[in-house]
Amino acid sequence: MHQLTTPREGQALLKAVASVRDAALLAEVVELRAKNKQLEQALVSRPVIDQARGMVMVLAPCSSERAWDLLVEVSQHCNVKLRDVAAALVATTKGQELPEAIRREWRRALRRLHTLERR
């Protein structure tokens, strides 16, 4: 095993260990901040997603799980964030029209749903 021969080598090693710990701590802080931001955004968007889910359950009609699946399906096919699809759907209650891409995908998703129910 290698022994340190000078105090200077010992100090260099301690600094290296400290910098590795600092780097690991910094990486953890960055990761936690990103997760915190995602959670904050989820808390803000959750009510509108739940409202849209309820609308789909009434309009389709379908279960809560199937309503969720439909929202996700439309979101993925339109390449639009789920919260934005939900907000667009909820906005229709205030007289706004669905964007064309979302309207088209809703029609397709509802046709698929009704086709599956008939089987």
Cα–chain-centroid distance for residue 43? 11
Higher per-residue confidence, 34 vs 10: 34
Q: How confident is the model at residue 116 (pLDDT cuts 50, 70, 90)?
A: confident
Separation of alpha carbons 66 and 80, rounded Å: 19
Higher per-residue confidence, 94 vs 12: 94
pLDDT of residue 96: 97
**Is this structure's pTM higher than 0.75?**
no
Separation of alpha carbons 104 and 111, rounded Å: 11
Share of the chain above pLDDT 90, in %: 53
Separation of alpha carbons 52 and 39, rounded Å: 20
